[in-house]
Structure 1
Amino acid sequence: MLTSVVLILSVVASVEMPVNLALLNLLLCGAFTFVYFSGTVDWPRWPALAQWAWVTALSVVWLLMLPVNDVSIYLILSLFFVYLAVFNDWRGVAAVVAATLMSILIQIPDGLTLGGVVGPAISALVVVAIHVAYQKLWQVSRERSELIEELMTTRNELAETQHAAGIAAERERIAHEIHDTVAQGLSSIQMLLHAAERDLAATGLDEEAQAPVRMRIDQARQSAQDNLAEARAMIAALQPASLSEGSLEDALGRVARSFGASGEIDIDVDVEGEPAVLPMKAEAMLLRVAQGAVGNVVKHSGATRARITLSFLPDATRLDVVDNGHGFDPEALAERPAGLGHVGLDAMRRRAAEVGGTLAVESSPGSGTAISVSVPVAEDGGQGAAEARG
């Protein structure tokens, strides 16, 4: 814009010149305009030699304009920016200094003035200062862009790490889900098949009559055993089916009836307090702990009775599973290795901890076992729990 204004004023100044000088002035103004605007956009793509030639041509045309038209001295500002942009180092500053000296020396024949010296000098200082400030801003912007790119890369790496960690945690959770649902159910089926085999023997039928039934029982037992082995290797995210079919109380009732029938023991379910809506993760944890605890009662305790108690307290929801079995030493059991085939108390504690709950075990040899898991009530009450379920 500045260059265009100065060139227009230079052309207008031709009106007051003699014809020969006016024509020369118009020719030089046209030459400067052509050379300047032909390179302002494309010069960064030119080779170094072409850039030098462009800057030299501009400087020569400008020097030829100075004796003809006084207004052309203001084109020095445009040349300053060209020098600093093309060379972008000490050579650009040297070119600015040289152009400043030339603009001062060209005034000597007509007599130097303070304004004729100070004006170009101050203009040179201002342009150099602007260029340095711009360079600093550009450097800061580039460093910020690099920092943003680095942060984006770090964020992506962190997201991948978190994703991998989430996959690992989900795989562990699924392993416990499969053990406590499919595996427990298949184990119960095997126990029922054993019971059916005993009932068949008690019918008094001869071996020939029992043979087809025993064959079917053996086939069912083998199928349950094969599927139990495959269930431990499955990787799939499953929502607890029991909870999808009703409330937690109903799900606990089904657990009691299923395990009670398979283990031939009486399992009662009691609910204390005003039932409250819990987050789905909390309900799933309570159900899974109940399944694991009752499964251990049926398989290991030798109990004849057990009770599941669900208590809705003002500050927590607690689940208790108590049996009259032969009991055990919790500290000795804690030293045993756990795996997919033996998901024990540690797994229950991890489940409880995932939803902010705690698990306690009371037992001793010969006096039965009591397992209690407690989940604190959310501060936002039922509404927050309902939202968590959604």
Structure 2
Amino acid sequence: METSLDPQEGVDKLRRTRAPDEDALTDGVHILTTVLLIAALAGSVNLPFGEAALNLLLCSGFAVLYFYGSAMQPEWREGTGLAWLASLTLLWVLAMAISPVSIYLLFPLLFLYLRVMDDVRGVVAVLAATTSSVLIQFPTGLTVGGVMGPAVSAAVVLAIHYAFRTLVRISREREELIDQLMATRTQLAETERAAGVAEERQRLAHEIHDTVAQGLSSIQMLLHSAERDLLNLGLDERQLAGPTRFIELARTTAKDNLGEARAMIAALQPASLSETSLENALGRIAAGFAAAGELNIEVSVEGNGRQLPMRTEAALLRIAQGAVGNVAKHAGASRCRVTVTYEPDEVRLDVVDNGRGFDPSEVAGRPSGLGHIGLDAMRRRAAEQGGSLEVESTPGYGTAVSVAIPLPAETGGGVKLEETQCEESEREGI
């Protein structure tokens, strides 16, 4: 049965987790401890038999407890680790009382204090153990070396511990930064791919509209003209039955194919424009960004609103989406206004906010991709329609993005004029 982890146990386990960078330090301490244990065991040679046997027993117990605990301590709760340290300290004190050489085992103990108690308690334990190693020398006579040895050892251990902790922290921060960069790179690749797919869909929609759809509309109009001229020849119904039947069949086929082409165009163009007007599509975009944050976005139309060419409406929609997205993500604004202005020869889109603003000259001076890729994309979309994009901003006083796209002189329905003519012809019975 799976058991849930106690919250405090989880904290203790997280605190005890070692970074890979500490393996080298741990291995070095193990080697040093082995050398010092051999030296402590060798000190038994000059001791009486009973004391030598007891020293061998204490050093062996210290060795077994040290290496066993070093392997198991990361899995222990904090209380078990503290008990392990207390046991090692007791064996060390007893060994020092028998053989002065055992004082050198202080060095690995100091590392263990800081490893198990990685806070102020570890520092206090280091100072206490160092003081104890000095005080235990009083019966045999205290020397300068007897004081400096433990004190220097404590200072060196503290310095090494601090240095390794700093290196581990820097290493983890670097790993987190690399992970963030990789995640950003992946997100950017997905965004670029999505933008490329959308752009290709738009290109296909434009190509279908400008070739297949307009060609089929022209065929219908030409067939209507041919039928009208044929009726004016004065032929009787029997003579007209065959030609008019084939003309009607051709018109029906062209009409069906034109419907399919329009369905393909509607499927390829932006979904927000497929069944609604530009104003309503902008309203939905504004509502989405406004709902995502504390931002009031108003959409208004000035002039005589009318149906624009499909590619113009799509470009205006994408530019507005990018501009409002920048306001929501970066401007820190509380209000934003989106205005579409229809004029006889052009359409203009203005996105104004009361955010923190920025220095356009400073942004323009950056290499491409460092913070203004959205503006570059909006400028390209405007340029593809023969228009221009201007950005006015001052730090602390908001930002205004203005796009102006010229319209053909015959735009009363833009490039959809042929479709409108065809629909009128169909209503007339063509």
- The alignment's TM-score, normalised by the length of structure 2, stands at 0.53
The separation in 1 between residues aligned to 2:174 and 2:115, in whole angstroms, is: 22
Of residues 95, 99, 105 in structure 2, which corresponds to 1:75?
105
Residues 129, 219 of structure 1: alpha-carbon distance in 2 compared, 3 angstrom cutoff: same
Amino acid in structure 1 at the alignment position of 2:345? A
The answer on whether the counterparts of 2:345 and 2:407 sit within 8 Å (CA) in structure 1 is: no
Trace 1:271-286 onto structure 2 (pairs within 5 A).
none
Does residue 146 (structure 1) correspond to residue 180 (structure 2)? The answer is: no
Q: For the pair shown, which has the larger CA radius of gyration, 1 or 2?
A: 1
Tell me, yes or no, if structure 1 residue 95 matches structure 2 residue 106. no
User: Per the alignment, do residues 163 and 348 of structure 1 end up closer, same or farther by CA in structure 2, a change over 3 Å counting?
Assistant: closer
2:95 matched to 1:65?
Answer: yes
Structure 1 pair 163/361, CA: closer, same or farther in 2 (3 Å)?
Answer: closer
Mapping for residues 3-42 of structure 1, pairs under 5 Å: 3-42=33-72
Amino acid in structure 2 at the alignment position of 1:37: F
Q: In the alignment, residue 71 of structure 2 is paired with which amino acid?
A: V
1:62/1:72 contact within 8 Å kept: yes
Is residue 2:201 matched to residue 1:171?
Answer: yes
Provide Cα deviations, 1:276-295, integer angstroms capped at 9, x if missing partner.
Answer: xxxxxxxxxxxxxxxxxxxx
For the aligned residue pairs, the C-alpha RMSD in angstroms reads 3.5
8 Å Cα contact 1:25-1:68 kept in structure 2: yes
User: What pairs up with 1:1-390 in 2 under 5 angstroms?
Assistant: 1-198=31-228, 200-201=230-231, 205-234=235-264, 334-335=345-346, 350=384
User: Structure 1 CA distance, aligned partners of 2:61 and 2:34?
Assistant: 13
State the distance in 1 between where 2:206 and 2:41 align.
89
TM-score (norm 1): 0.58
Q: Residue 86 of structure 1: CA displacement?
A: 0.4
Shift of 1:58: 0.6
One-letter amino acid matched to 2:47:
M
Distance (Å, rounded) in 2 between the aligned partners of 1:184 and 1:71? 100
Residues 114 and 122 of structure 2 are in contact (CA less than 8 Å); yes or no, is this contact kept in structure 1? yes
Q: CA deviation at 1:39?
A: 1.2
Q: 5+ unaligned residues in a row in structure 2: which ranges?
A: 1-30, 269-342, 349-380, 388-405, 411-430
Q: Deviations over 1:53-111 (max 9, x none)?
A: 10001100111111222332111110011000101111100110111011111111111
Query: In 1, distance between residues paired with 2:42 and 2:347?
Result: 101
Q: What is the deviation of 1:48?
A: 1.8
AA of the residue aligned to 1:121:
A
Q: Percent identity?
A: 53
CA distance in 1, matches of 2:409, 2:195: 36
Q: How far did residue 196 of structure 1 move? A: 4.2
Q: Report how far residue 143 of structure 1 moved.
A: 2.5
Spell out, residue by residue over 1:8-56, the C-alpha distance to the aligned partner (whole angstroms, 9 max, x if none): 2222333343322221121111100111111112212211211111000
Name the residue aligned to 2:355: none
Amino acid across the alignment from 1:9: A
- The alpha-carbon deviation at position 199 of structure 1 amounts to 6.1
Deviation at 1:334, TM superposition (A): 3.2
Structure 2 CA distance for partners of 1:117 and 1:171, relative to 1, 3 Å: same
Q: Relative to structure 2, which stretch is displaced further, 134-143 or 109-118?
A: 134-143
In structure 2, do the counterparts of structure 1 residues 184 and 13 end up closer, same or farther at CA, with 3 Å as the change threshold?
A: same
1:341: which partner in 2? none
Contact 1:175 1:232 in 2 (8 A): no
Q: Give the C-alpha shift of residue 349 in structure 1.
A: 6.9
Aligned pairs, how many?
259
Cα distance in 1 for residues equivalent to 2:94 and 2:46: 19
Mapped to 2, the partners of 1:349 and 1:51 lie a distance apart of: 69
In structure 2, C-alpha distance between the alignment counterparts of 1:144 and 1:32, rounded to whole Å: 39
CA contact (8 A) 2:345 2:409 kept: no
SS at match of 1:112: coil
Cα drift, residue 195 of structure 1: 4.9
